[in-house]
Amino acid sequence: MTVSNTTSATSTAATTTTASTVSGGAAIAENFDQFLTLLTTQLKNQSPLDPLDTNQFTSQLVQFAGVEQQLKTNQTLTSLLSLNSAGTATSAVGFIGSTITADGATTRLEGDKAEWQLNVPRGGTATITIKDAKGSIVQTQTRSLVAGDQTFSWDGTTSTTQKAAPGEYTITVDARDTAGAAMTATTKISGVVDGVDFTGSIPTLKIGAISVPIDQVKSVVRQQ
């Protein structure tokens, strides 16, 4: 009966981890129970005239203690993972109401203004293509770039001189240096966090309809 209770407790603890961890914990618990049953059966049925060798018995006890220790270690790790997840969730909620800067190419056009932060290793020029949420091109511009960080602003004017509707827009940057060689341009976005999504493996901060994984946040400014 004690063996059954141990298996149940181990299974309950394992459910808070991933599927692979649960499977591994169950396998260890099963081996632990089998070993315990085998050891007690062996002790009950040993011959009084030919008892179990002391060295063999000691070796089995060491194995028994090792398996038991591994089960306790797994339970401890499960608790630590739960505490870590709770701490991450609490930290993510603290971003709500703050302005963050994060890696990304999609930001929101609001009040006829959208901004991106660009960074290139060398000065040159770039063809910047702006697309709406459906992937349709609404504007293409050619801009001069300087080495390092800079801001690209868009007033919402499309290539047909119409005003784009408020919403999410994405840019792609085809950058070339003064010698005509292609170079990589990194983009960042900024916005006020108004929600947190916990459905993924890590919390995702929400800026309207824009999702920003918490590990992509570069800076945070708390609103006064």
Q: What is the pLDDT of residues 29-46, one digit of tens each?
A: 556 666 667 667 766 776
Q: How far apart are CA 218 and CA 38, in angstroms?
A: 57
Task: Count the neighbouring beta carbons within 10 Å of the beta carbon of residue 154.
Answer: 21
Model confidence at 2: pLDDT above 70: no
Provide the pLDDT for residue 18: 41
pTM value? 0.58
Q: How far apart are CA 217 and CA 196, in angstroms?
A: 13
Question: 146 vs 124, 134, 180, 190, CA distance in Å?
Answer: 6, 31, 14, 21
Residue 217 shares a structural domain with residue 138: yes
Residue 74 shares a structural domain with residue 87: yes
Point out the domain boundary residue: 60, 93, 126: 93
Residue 122 shares a structural domain with residue 171: yes
Point out the domain boundary residue: 75, 93, 111: 93
Portion of the chain with pLDDT greater than 70, in percent: 65
* Mean pLDDT of all residues belonging to the chain: 78
Amino acid at 3: V
Domain of residue 175: give its range: 98-222
Distance of CA 187 to the CA centre of its chain: 20
Tokens of 21: 């961890």
